[in-house]
């Protein structure tokens, strides 16, 4: 029975190799950009309440150009569909057809030659607002060069009988035939440092005549896209061995499409979600096997969260805060046992409340469709900036520059007066904040599990994570025997307190690095200016007791922090632009300056999503021979990064008759006329341009 079903499916899949014919279909909306056209088709002639409707979104590029799958591979970009829908209408994720391998030099992409179609399902409620549907789309088209495309389409189809549109039936039939089939077999994927092994639990009798296979991974980190994949039959099923890129991130899931190429040019794809086992090399060269988060039992996730939170206390940014709180137990005049327990609860409550706020925001954003995870707040430069300022202030306080009154600033009699329930709660909040950039062992699978579960499970797992982080201080608060093991107070406490500042200085330096990578050097300078202004205010407050002086000090402290909170860096064009050490950012002004100085210039225009660009950079520009030629000829290299929109770079491309990147220009010494190099760059072309212009 299974063989017959698969045979029938194979017959339907014969159309995979043929282009989708849409000539007779009638689009709801159509928009063209420079190198492609997008059309939207409806399967039915209107939206009825409490029903569903399928739309087909077609991308038709110029002849010879291609678009991309949901995972574009080594480079490229997946299409982005941003729907603005009437109340009562929701859109599902787009369904992609089985992709092709698009090799480019030593790299490879996943995408489609010619026209491709995505299916989108609309669901309607009992009431539908009488407004049009608006689709704002962005997609990438590449041949040798790559060109981003944009379109806004208005679909006025909220009214209608809901009957099928006859002329569009063939389009939807052929599109569905190109979709991957649901898998009939269970599967597993083992990922280690060098390769991924996919096992599909089938027999040779299930599918006959397999000539080759390929696994299209749905996310990075599973396979090296350009590397050949090998397969064989084993006792437990079909096994694929797929090399991985060295140093790639460990994948969080293994979903993808398994393509079987069969005799007679038959090709069929199966959508599979293998059980994932990740094997990573630990520092002691032993192997640690982490279970698939989706299949983890609740009790295991709870234990992982508890012990992960406990281990989190050893992180360099968390440990000083825990140590400060522990100093409270070293005073002979410390408060009663009841007060000590209350402070332990307050400290725990500070951590728990902070975690719940962070998790609440995380869950809300994920429910809105945002692809974020633990530590998502570090993706916001403002949060990173404020955390860096906080870490610096705390470290300066520990170093004796000023007093935040943590309760450990002077060991002895004043300690009891400076401690309290409010102070303990604040330390809990601080411990939670400084812990958010970190992921301790066992935390990742627990958090990954929790974020796929109902809210009550999320609450349980993250509550146990908070308890694990608070556990050392709770033990000191509630178990007198532990408190008696603490050393006696003395002058050493001041030295220890000062020493604990240095892990926080390192944490502040790391946060500054993250901030610089996010928004660039100019923004980092503005952040440091605000920080130094605040530190000056603190210093000013120590110069006397006058009210005027104190008012000026407060003005500088709050003014510096307010300056940072106002995000003075705005939308700097440096964001996400990586400039190589041996290159400078491109600008027309910089070219003119260098030409006036009589210096030769090599300018290249690239983007992170441009596969041709990355191949040229890897096999030509980054080679020792070309780098030596640049240095030997005194050539200044300028890099124009078009990863994000940039009007100046777009104008340069248009000036040289290009709609997209890559573009390579060589300006001989003292000449404003550029030699335009070919898009498929070679070392010979670079050397010829340099030598022919001397």
pLDDT digits (tens, 9 = 90+) for 387-397: 888 878 877 87
Report the C-alpha gap between 224 and 244 in whole angstroms.
5
**Position 542 in a domain:** no
Three-state SS across 440-458? CCCHHHHHHHHCCCCHHHH
Q: Let me know the angle formed at the C-alpha of 470 by 469 and 475, rounded to the nearest 5 degrees.
A: 125
Tell me the CB-side half-sphere exposure of residue 70, using CA atoms within 13 A.
17
pLDDT digits (tens, 9 = 90+) for 148-180: 899 999 987 666 677 888 899 999 999 999 999
pLDDT digits (tens, 9 = 90+) for 376-388: 566 577 877 888 8
DSSP-assigned letters across all residues of 530-594: HHHHHHHHHHHHTT---HHHHHHHHHHHHHHHHHHHT-TT-S-TTTT----TT-EE--HHHHHHH
Confidence of residue 72 (pLDDT cuts 50, 70, 90): very high
Q: Are residues 194 and 141 in the same domain?
A: no
Q: Are residues 475 and 381 in the same domain?
A: yes
Report the C-alpha gap between 502 and 497 in whole angstroms.
10
**Position 218 in a domain:** yes
Confidence of residue 371 (pLDDT cuts 50, 70, 90): very low
Whether the CB-CB separation of 660 and 149 falls below 8 Å is answered with: no
**Position 174 in a domain:** no
Q: Are residues 129 and 42 in the same domain?
A: yes
Handedness of CA 390, 374, 347, 475 (dihedral sign): negative
Q: Which residue has the higher pLDDT, 209 or 436?
A: 209
Q: Are residues 319 and 234 in the same domain?
A: no
**Which DSSP category does 330 fall into?**
G
The pair phi, psi for residue 457, each rounded to 5°, is -70, -40
Confidence of residue 444 (pLDDT cuts 50, 70, 90): low
Q: Are residues 602 and 485 in the same domain?
A: no
Q: Are residues 256 and 309 in the same domain?
A: no
Tell me the CB-side half-sphere exposure of residue 668, using CA atoms within 13 A.
11
**Position 540 in a domain:** no
Q: Which residue has the higher pLDDT, 109 or 521?
A: 109
Which range is least confidently modeled, 50-64, 303-317, 439-453, 581-595?
A: 439-453
Could you list the residue range(s) of the whole structural domain that residue 225 is in? 182-281
CATH of the domain at 607: 3.40.30.10
Q: Are residues 267 and 212 in the same domain?
A: yes
- List, in sequence order, every beta strand (DSSP E) within 131-274: 133-142, 146-155, 181-182, 187-191, 195-200, 210-217, 230-234, 237-243, 256-262, 266-272
Q: What share of the chain is helix, strand, coil (3-state, %, to 5)?
A: 40, 25, 35
CB atoms within 10 A of CB 286: 7
Q: Which of 475, 497, 519 is the last residue of a domain?
A: 497
**Position 594 in a domain:** yes
Q: Are residues 622 and 667 in the same domain?
A: yes
Q: Which of 497, 527, 554 is the last residue of a domain?
A: 497
**Position 577 in a domain:** no
Whether the CB-CB separation of 62 and 36 falls below 8 Å is answered with: yes
- List, in sequence order, every beta strand (DSSP E) within 89-178: 89-91, 100-104, 107-113, 116-124, 133-142, 146-155
Report the C-alpha gap between 243 and 326 in whole angstroms.
49
Give 278-286's long-range contacts (Cβ < 8 A, gap of 24+).
278/191, 278/250, 278/251, 279/190, 279/191, 279/192, 279/193, 280/192, 280/193, 280/250, 281/192, 281/193
pLDDT digits (tens, 9 = 90+) for 537-593: 888 888 877 777 878 878 888 888 888 887 776 644 333 333 344 678 999 999 999
Residue with tokens 């329930």: 421
Domain count, the chain: 4
Residue 488 pLDDT > 80, yes or no? no
Q: Which of 133, 168, 203 is the last residue of a domain?
A: 168
**Position 609 in a domain:** yes
Q: Are residues 327 and 468 in the same domain?
A: yes
Q: Are residues 277 and 410 in the same domain?
A: no
Q: Are residues 369 and 480 in the same domain?
A: yes
CATH of the domain at 82: 2.60.40.1250
**Which DSSP category does 34 fall into?**
S
């Amino acid at each position: 029975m299974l063989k017959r079903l698969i045979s029938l499916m194979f017959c339907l899949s014969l159309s995979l190799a043929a282009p989708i014919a849409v000539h007779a279909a009638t689009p709801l909306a159509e928009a063209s950009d420079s190198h492609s056209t997008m059309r939207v088709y409806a399967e039915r002639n209107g939206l009825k309440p409490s029903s569903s409707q399928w739309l087909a979104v077609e991308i038709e590029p110029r002849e010879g150009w291609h678009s991309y799958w949901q995972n574009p591979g080594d480079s490229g970009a997946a299409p982005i569909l941003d729907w603005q829908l009437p109340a009562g209408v929701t859109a599902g994720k787009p369904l992609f057809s089985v992709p092709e391998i698009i090799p480019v030099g030593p790299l490879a992409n996943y995408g489609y030659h010619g026209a491709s179609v995505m299916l989108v399902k609309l669901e309607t409620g009992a009431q539908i607002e009488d407004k049009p549907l608006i689709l704002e789309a962005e997609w990438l088209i590449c041949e040798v060069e790559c060109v981003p495309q944009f379109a806004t389409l208005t679909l006025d189809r909220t009214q209608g009988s809901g009957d099928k549109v006859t002329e569009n039936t063939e389009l939807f039939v052929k599109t569905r035939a190109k979709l991957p089939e649901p898998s009939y077999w269970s599967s597993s994927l083992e990922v280690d440092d060098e390769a991924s092994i996919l096992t599909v639990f089938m027999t040779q009798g299930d599918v006959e005549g397999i000539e080759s296979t390929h696994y299209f991974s749905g996310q990075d980190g599973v396979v090296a896209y350009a590397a050949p994949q090998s397969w064989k039959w084993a006792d437990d099923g079909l096994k694929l061995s797929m090399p991985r890129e060295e140093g790639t991130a460990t994948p969080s899931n293994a979903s993808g499409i398994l393509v079987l190429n069969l005799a007679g040019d038959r090709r069929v794809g199966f959508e599979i979600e293998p059980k994932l086992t990740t094997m990573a090399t630990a520092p002691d060269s032993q192997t640690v096997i982490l279970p698939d988060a989706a299949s983890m039992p609740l009790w295991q996730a709870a234990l992982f969260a508890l012990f992960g939170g406990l281990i989190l206390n050893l992180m360099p940014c968390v440990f000083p805060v825990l140590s400060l709180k522990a100093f409270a137990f070293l005073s002979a005049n410390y408060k009663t046992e009841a007060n000590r327990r209350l402070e332990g609860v307050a400290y725990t409550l500070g951590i728990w409340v902070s975690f719940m706020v962070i998790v609440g925001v995380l869950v809300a954003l994920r429910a809105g469709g945002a692809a974020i995870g633990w530590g998502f707040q570090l993706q916001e430069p403002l949060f990173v900036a404020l955390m860096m300022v906080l870490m610096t202030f705390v470290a300066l306080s520990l170093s004796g520059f000023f007093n935040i009154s943590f309760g450990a600033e002077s060991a002895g009699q004043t300690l009891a007066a400076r401690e309290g329930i409010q102070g303990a709660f604040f330390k809990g909040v601080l411990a939670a904040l400084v812990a958010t950039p970190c992921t301790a062992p066992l935390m990742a699978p627990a958090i990954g599990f929790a974020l796929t579960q109902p809210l009550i499970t999320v609450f349980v797992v993250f509550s146990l994570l908070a308890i694990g982080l608070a556990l050392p201080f709770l033990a000191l608060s509630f178990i007198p025997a532990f408190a008696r093991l603490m050393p006696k107070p003395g002058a050493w406490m001041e030295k220890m307190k000062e020493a604990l500042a240095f892990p926080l200085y390192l944490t502040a330096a790391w946060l500054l690095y993250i901030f610089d990578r996010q928004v660039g050097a100019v923004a980092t300078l503005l952040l440091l200016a605000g920080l130094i202004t605040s530190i000056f205010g603190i210093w000013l407050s120590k110069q006397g007791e006058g009210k005027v002086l104190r008012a000026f000090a407060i003005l500088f402290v709050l003014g510096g922090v307010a300056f940072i909170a106002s995000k003075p860096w705005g939308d700097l064009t440096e964001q996400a632009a990586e400039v190589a050490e041996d290159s400078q950012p491109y600008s027309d002004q910089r070219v003119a300056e260098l030409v006036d100085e009589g210096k030769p210039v090599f300018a290249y225009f690239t983007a992170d999503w441009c596969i041709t660009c990355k191949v040229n950079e890897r096999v030509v520009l980054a080679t020792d021979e070309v780098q030596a030629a640049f240095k030997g000829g005194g050539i200044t290299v300028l890099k124009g990064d078009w990863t994000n929109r940039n009007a100046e770079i777009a104008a340069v491309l248009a000036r040289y008759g290009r709609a997209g990147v890559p573009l390579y220009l060589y300006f001989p010494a003292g000449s404003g006329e550029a030699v335009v190099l070919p898009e498929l760059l070679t070392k010979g072309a670079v050397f010829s341009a340099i030598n022919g212009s001397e």
